[in-house]
Each structure stands twice: as structure tokens, then as C-alpha cells.
């Protein structure tokens, strides 16, 4: 049986650091959950080397691809030789986007797979099974996803449905992040939180907060949400945040935060450098003969090896995946270093000034 423990060890205003222990793995929080398909892009040893501890894979995609044969694929830790923690995303938002109104059932969501045109029925029981097969270390509960600004009735229906589906994860409640939904509406969010509190889940998953919100609205909802949650339990934000949103989330006291920033930037030929994590666009002409590393003094394997901006520029211009891989390594290292610095700032009771300086630089 799986085992999950979470202990908070430092707090500075609303921000906090903690230790999350899942089975024999211990990670320090706040931490980034890498959602940029990293396992398919870099060798696991490299990921560990640059400080990646948790990755998330697209469970719906695996299920659509393999269907009944998914059990033959089995645990992704073994398939990828990945020793870190693994989350399996349910991608309910994607399924609901594809569903017609009559496809939104009280036992799942029916939609046409755009790849094959086939009609698929994504259901909470199936989603839990898929997570178990693929070896998820912590489970996610199924939610009825909607738009943040949906009409109140739709959001309320989403809250009721998501609450009802929590039942399916009850047997594994101690290993499940329970979904809290309700768009931007305080009353609905409160109701959603209440439903979870009645049970002993591993933590709260703050769902339905898109990264497309304005920084102001994002900051408002995330602080409002966190203020409703019991202090001692884990908080997980499954939004692939921007850098500013990630800082807001850490300040508010979120423990786990999704991030595809490193991969997204690398795919665009961008290296994140400097204290404020500025973007260096390596595809630009002036890097053609630039012999410097991506960042002077950077401890990542790419900069340490001495790969130059000129080389990476060259690889990117020629469309070589290796160039993107080098950027991904540097970016992941840089983001993990930032997270370490944030943890230290919280421990030193200086998180607010630390973040303010970062936001100002950015």
C-alpha cells in the first residue's frame, strides 16, 4: 500500500516550505511538477542531475493510444527507467472541450478523439485504473471541467458532479489529490472545499484556474482559494503557470505547482538566464559567433560542458532536436535553482522582498 506524508517545516507569511514523503521518496516543497513531456525528451539520469523530482504524463493520451492494451505498457517508472515521482494527468479539461453538451454525462465525458475520429467515453473509474496501471505515485480525482468564466449554473453543476465523483477515489483517498473547482466564484469554491474536508484526502488540487487569467485575477483567486484550505494539508495547483504566476502561487502557500515553462521556452529556442530569468532568444543572428556559455557561472551540465551560444544557435537554426534538448536542460536547472532559492528565502523569512525583487527585475 502506498504511503504519503506531508510536514510543513517553515512558514513566512502565507508561504511555506515542507517535506512531502511518498513511499520511500522525499521531496522538499514548494516544488515544480514538470509537465513538458520531459520523460520523452531527456534521459532520466539527466533529469535527476538537474534537479527534477516530479514529472507528470498525459494519462488520457496514453489511454487513447493503447486502450485495453494499456496494461501491457504497464508502469511508466519502469518503461522510462524513471526513479522520481510520477503523476498521471487526466486531461479532463481537454475532454470537456471536445465534448458536445450531450456528451457531458453524470458518469463521465463522451467525445470524439480528434486523432482517430472515434467516439470515446472517459470515466472516473477508467481514469483511476489508468493512473494505477501507469504507476502514478499520487492519484488525481476526476473533475467536471469548465471554463473559469462559465455561467454560475454550469459552474455549480461542475462542483456537484466533481463532489459526487470523489466517491470513486475514496478507497485510495490517502493517496489522492481531491479536486476543488468552482471557477472564479468564492461561494462555489467554498462549497467544493467543504466536500473534500469531510474526507481524509492527501491534499487539495486547485483546479480550473487557467494560466490565461490576468496576473491580478490569478493572484486574487489563488490567495482566496488558499485561505479556505486547512493549513496542514498539501496544496497542488495543476496549472502550467507563467513565471509570475508561479511566484504568486509560492507566495500564497501552494506546495506543488505544474510547470511546462522550461520545455515551452526551449521549444521556442529560448534560454532562461539571469536573476530575473530573462529570455535569451538563441535563434537570433547575433549569437552566430557568440562563444560564451548560455549563462556565465551557471552550474548546469550544458554550461559546465562549455557549449557555446553559437553552437546552440547553429543547432536550432538547423532544426536539430539536440539544440532544444540542451536548452531544456539549462532551463530546467535554472528553474529548479530558482525554486531552491525560494525555499531558502521562506526559511530565512525573506520571501516577500525576494519575490518583489524578482518581479521587478522581470
**Contacts with Zn ion, residue ranges (CB under 5 A):** 294, 298, 300, 302-303, 330
CB of 274 to Zn ion, least distance (A): 11
> What's the closest the beta carbon of residue 52 comes to Zn ion, in angstroms?
15
Q: How many residues does the chain have?
A: 362
Q: How far is the CB of 319 from Zn ion (least distance, A)?
A: 22
- Please state the closest distance from residue 127 (CB atom) to Zn ion, in A: 38
| Dihedral sign for Cα atoms in the order 96, 102, 108, 112 | negative
Q: 188 or 294: whose CB is closer to Zn ion?
A: 294
In the complex, least distance from residue 40 CB atom to Zn ion, rounded to whole angstroms: 22
Give residue 123's Cα distance to chain centre. 22
Q: How far is the CB of 334 from Zn ion (least distance, A)?
A: 7
Residue whose CB is less far from Zn ion, 230 or 299 = 299
CA distance 238 to 233: 16
Compute the 3-state secondary structure of the chain and give helix, strand, coil in percent, each to the nearest 5: 50, 20, 30
* Residue 104 or 330 having the CB closest to Zn ion: 330
Q: How far is the CB of 273 from Zn ion (least distance, A)?
A: 8
In angstroms, give the least distance from the CB of 326 to Zn ion: 9
Of 210 and 276, the one with the shorter C-beta distance to Zn ion is: 276
| Cα–Cα distance, 351 to 282 (Å, whole number) | 32
280 and 271 in contact (C-beta within 8 Å)?
Answer: yes
Angle (nearest 5°) at CA 237 between 124 and 123: 10
Closer CB to Zn ion, residue 15 or residue 270? 270
Distance CA 346, CA 178 (A): 26
| 10/49 with CB nearer Zn ion | 49
Q: How many H-runs (helices) and E-runs (strands) does the chain carry?
A: 15, 16
CA distance 252 to 235: 10
Query: Minimum CB separation from Zn ion for residue 293, in Å?
Result: 7
| C-alpha cell belonging to residue 212 | 490565461
N-to-C CA span, the chain: 45
As a whole number of Å, the CA-based R_g of the chain is 21
Smaller CB separation from Zn ion, 206 or 327: 327
Q: How far apart are CA 122 and CA 105, in angstroms?
A: 10
Residue closer to Zn ion, measured from CB, 85 or 298:
298
Listed residue (224, 207, 204, 208) closest to 216, CA to CA: 224
Among residues 243 and 302, whose Cβ is nearest to Zn ion?
A: 302
Contacts of 9 (CB under 8 A, 6+ apart): 17, 18, 19
CA distance 339 to 53: 12
**Bridge-based pairing state of the strands 139-140 and 176-180:** parallel
Amino acid at each position: 500500500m502506498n504511503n504519503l506524508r506531508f510536514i510543513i517545516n517553515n512558514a513566512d507569511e502565507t508561504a511555506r516550505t515542507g517535506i512531502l514523503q511518498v513511499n520511500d521518496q522525499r521531496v522538499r516543497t514548494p516544488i515544480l511538477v514538470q509537465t513538458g513531456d520531459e520523460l520523452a525528451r531527456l534521459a532520466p539520469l539527466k533529469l535527476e542531475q538537474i534537479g527534477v523530482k516530479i514529472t507528470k504524463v498525459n494519462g488520457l493520451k496514453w489511454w487513447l493510444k493503447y486502450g485495453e492494451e494499456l496494461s501491457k505498457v504497464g508502469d511508466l517508472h519502469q518503461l522510462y527507467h524513471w526513479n522520481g515521482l510520477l503523476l498521471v494527468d487526466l486531461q479532463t479539461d481537454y475532454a470537456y472541450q471536445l465534448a458536445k453538451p450531450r456528451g457531458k454525462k453524470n458518469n463521465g465525458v463522451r467525445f470524439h478523439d480528434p486523432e482517430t475520429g472515434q467516439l470515446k467515453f472517459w470515466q472516473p473509474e477508467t481514469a483511476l485504473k489508468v493512473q494505477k496501471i501507469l504507476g502514478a505515485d499520487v492519484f488525481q480525482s476526476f473533475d467536471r471541467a469548465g471554463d473559469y468564466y462559465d455561467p454560475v449554473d454550469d459552474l455549480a453543476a461542475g462542483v456537484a458532479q466533481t463532489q459526487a465523483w470523489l466517491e470513486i477515489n475514496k478507497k485510495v483517498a490517502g493517496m489522492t489529490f481531491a479536486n476543488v473547482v468552482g471557477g472564479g466564484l468564492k461561494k462555489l469554491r467554498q462549497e467544493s472545499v467543504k466536500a473534500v474536508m469531510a474526507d481524509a484526502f492527501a491534499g487539495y488540487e486547485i483546479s480550473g484556474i487557467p494560466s490565461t487569467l490576468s496576473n491580478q485575477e490569478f493572484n486574487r483567486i489563488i490567495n482566496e482559494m488558499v485561505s479556505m484550505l486547512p493549513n496542514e494539508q498539501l496544496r497542488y495547483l495543476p496549472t502550467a503557470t507563467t513565471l509570475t504566476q508561479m511566484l504568486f502561487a509560492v507566495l500564497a502557500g501552494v506546495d506543488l505547482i505544474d510547470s511546462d515553462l522550461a520545455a515551452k521556452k526551449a521549444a521556442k529556442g529560448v534560454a532562461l538566464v539571469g536573476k530575473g530569468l530573462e529570455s535569451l532568444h538563441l535563434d537570433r543572428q547575433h549569437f552566430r559567433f557568440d562563444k560564451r556559455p548560455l549563462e556565465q557561472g551557471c552550474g548546469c551540465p550544458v554550461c559546465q560542458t562549455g557549449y557555446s551560444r553559437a553552437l546552440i544557435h547553429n543547432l536550432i537554426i538547423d532544426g536539430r532536436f539536440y539544440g532544444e534538448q540542451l536548452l531544456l536542460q539549462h532551463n530546467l536547472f535554472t528553474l529548479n535553482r530558482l525554486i531552491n532559492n525560494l525555499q531558502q528565502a521562506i526559511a530565512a523569512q525573506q520571501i516577500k522582498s525576494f519575490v518583489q525583487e524578482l518581479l521587478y527585475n522581470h
